[in-house]
Structure 1
Amino acid sequence: MTETLQQDSSYAARLENLKVDFSGTTVVDVPELNMEQGLIHVVSGPSGSGKTSLLRSFNRLNECFPHCRTSGRIHLTLGNQRIDIQSLPDTRLAALRQKVAMVFQSPNVLPGSIAHNLKLPLKVTRNLKGAEAESTIRKSLQQAKLWDDVRERINHPASSLSGGQQQRLCLARALALDPEILLLDEPTASLDPDVTGQIENLLLELRGRYTMILVSHSRRQTARLADTHYRCENAKIVEIQRLRS
């Protein structure tokens, strides 16, 4: 179901009676939840509390795993439309995952060059080639604060980048898709403190341009980044804190 809205719709996501089960075990159980647009929403909690499964619900990535069942409703505001993503046919999932892009815990660079990591998804998802693709690649690398590091070696292997640079490349790849919502699953978990700080600064700079939903184990990171903090335990959100107005 798709509903046309005015541009001032206040929420990015609304969950209603959301349940995610794997092989009969409930890993997410959220009766109701609203997330505002343009803010950083941080989800924390112990291992196994359902954080990543909740995150994957927003672009239906859980369905890539066997024995998964999702019930309830997730309404997202994308562009000027409110979309019930649970009602989308499989043929529209690629478009959903373009607008609700995900950055994973460990950098998942593609084999091949730095440029290839951006050109391939641009060609596949947005049908961009030539000068238009080159412009988008440069813009996304600039947004990810990586352009100055790679402009002279754009055709070098992506694997030659440091861990922090690879994670910024993955973020640039997500940004190149022209998303509205960014899902970030512990994006600094494998990085040292200095690089973690760089990624956090970058996310703060992107605040307002994108709605971000981020899973984090770090209290310091949560305090630094979160506009709203959600604490999970045993598949449920047990506490919500608004840290910034």
Structure 2
Amino acid sequence: MRISTLAAGIAIVAAAPAAAQTVTTASTEGTFTNAFAGTGDTAPVYSGLGTSQFSFGSGSPSTLQYSGATGPLAARYVPPDSFYLGSILYYNGAITTTSGISAVTLSLVTTLSAPVNPGGDGFGTLDERVFITNTPNSTDREASADYITFASLAMGAYVYEGQSASFNLFGTLNSPLTLTSIVLASDPSTGFVASAPPFTGSVTPVPEPASWALMLCGFAMVGGAARYRRRRNVMAFAGA
């Protein structure tokens, strides 16, 4: 009789479900909210403010498209661990010289399934200025590359003329949300990530040729041997 009672007790314990471990999930939404014209953009043309897709320039418009991320974080997520916020796809269109814009604001809102950030509210917001250096269109895709960078980062992405390149955004949720890095996620033949001074002030005009040379000198391409490019001795690296 004691044996049967013990066996029944074991069966009950075995049938009890194990305590589920809480996994924090996060979702990030982004919209473009402001556009800024530079000194050379005398007739800026743009559309898509208030949405996740922003186009600018007459002719063949250039496009920025934000795709938010959603999914589980680490089981024990602790700020200031960084996590994937989403991605931006940029198309470098053949726009007219005076119809472009120099910057646009990307407004990000990240919501967590549990209030794990220090503020205790479970979400973070960030208005990030995205700077765009438009270059004249030419048959040299390298010389025609546009440069995309962010107010809070000392790096950005070059996208060749007529090409699309996507890059991932990573951030931390320390109330408020902060952007920490980008990684080029497309074929490196469409563009590359590079180091550059952050643009934290007002809209910055297109750099002079001497500034280009200073910014671009010394970059290394990941996974390949360094090689000289045809113009401005640019050496680049691409992240997968």
**Higher gyration radius (CA):** 2
Fold agreement, TM-score > 0.5: no
TM-score normalised by L of structure 1: 0.23
Q: Compare the two structures and name the one with the higher strand fraction.
A: 2
Q: Higher helix share goes to which structure?
A: 1
